[in-house]
Amino acid sequence: MCETHSLTASKGHRVCSGGMRVSSSWRWQLSQAMRLVLRWCRRQRGGGASDRLWELWTYSKVLLKSLYFNSLSNSDTLLDCAFEPVYWTVDNVTRWFGVVFVCLVTLLTSSVVVIVYLFVLPTILSTYPYYWILWHLCCGHWLLIMVVFHYYKATTTSAGHPPKDKVNFPSVSVCKKCVSPKPPRTHHCSVCSVCVLKMDHHCPWLNNCVGHFNHRYFFSFCVYMTLGCVYCSVSSRDLFLDAYSSVEGYYQTAPPDFTPRESTAHKSIIFLWVLTSSVAVALGGLTLWHAMLISRGETSVERHINRKEAKRLKEKGKVFRNPHHHGRMNNWRLLLGVQRTSHWVTRVLMPSTHPPSGDGIMWDYTFTRRDPMAI
């Protein structure tokens, strides 16, 4: 070993008898190397205040990436973060307007019923044959009962949610909002802030999600409301034409002499016919769309997912088969809860509170695969 002299170098070195320098710290050597690298970089860029700005910019980029970057980050994640305030506003407005929409449906439906009882039914009772009177009384009140019953049940029945205290049910993913397992066909509703079993969509006109336990009520309401609007529109057609001609006479030089009741009746009939005809067209299109989805064994959410999956598999030379499609008639039986032939009358044509098939967690995936390339 070398003998150490009492003189110590100012840079952290000790002078040995053999003229060799021994490093006192590896950190000091690393700092010297970093200084040399920085000096070389300054000479390459010319030096000055721009060097300091460049270092701050580089450090800021590294710091920013360290806050949000991971292996799962992509453009969709960044867009979701950027539009999160917009999503929050839409969800809260939809939740608040749901109460307004329910009140609006109740008000408009009640107004139609009042107009029919005050102006349409008296005309039918006084001018139609007895068999047509009987048909109108039976058909009109049957449609009214079915509309009110299914709307009430669709609004007040919970769509169904995954159990919180049960952990042994099958799950296909974990909800990033609830941070809990999601069973098959379950999706998160951003308006209700909860996962919904077999979610179809959030309906603001119901102020409720449409899912496993109230899907039948929602679709039945759409069907019977459409039929009810068609019935009112057809039944009041002649009255509408007469009322429209009478209203046009209000603007003549010598307007006809109508009593206040007659003027109110004319305007009410026009309001009734325009409202029911418009709803019949709009709601009829929505009903046909959902009927097509039910025939395919899909929900509105699954429709978009299955289309993307079918496109992806088509590029690989494969065919996508929906595992929840059991045939058109079987799909309708499962939705409506029809198990016997008599159920088409007692459970479909009459008000019924029977639960749907299954619990919304376990699903039967068995189906016939005729195409060997299908998955």
Q: Show Cβ contacts of residue 36 under 8 Å, excluding neighbours closer than 6 positions.
A: none
Q: How many CB atoms lie within 10 A of CB 216?
A: 25
The encoded tokens of residue 66 equal 């360290």
The encoded tokens of residue 344 equal 């088409």
Separation CA 9–CA 250 (nearest Å): 112
Active-site residue, selected from the candidate residues 189, 195, 203, 229 = 203
Residue 203 annotated to the active site: yes
Q: Show Cβ contacts of residue 340 under 8 Å, excluding neighbours closer than 6 positions.
A: none
Judge whether 153 and 53 are in contact, CB under 8 Å: no
- E strands, the chain, in order: 4-8, 13-16, 21-23, 173-174, 181-182, 187-189, 194-196, 201-203, 208-210
Residue 356 is which amino acid?
P
Separation CA 118–CA 265 (nearest Å): 9
**Residue 152, CA atoms < 13 Å, CB-side half-sphere:** 9
Separation of CA 309 from chain center: 19
Judge whether 198 and 186 are in contact, CB under 8 Å: yes
Catalytic residues: 203
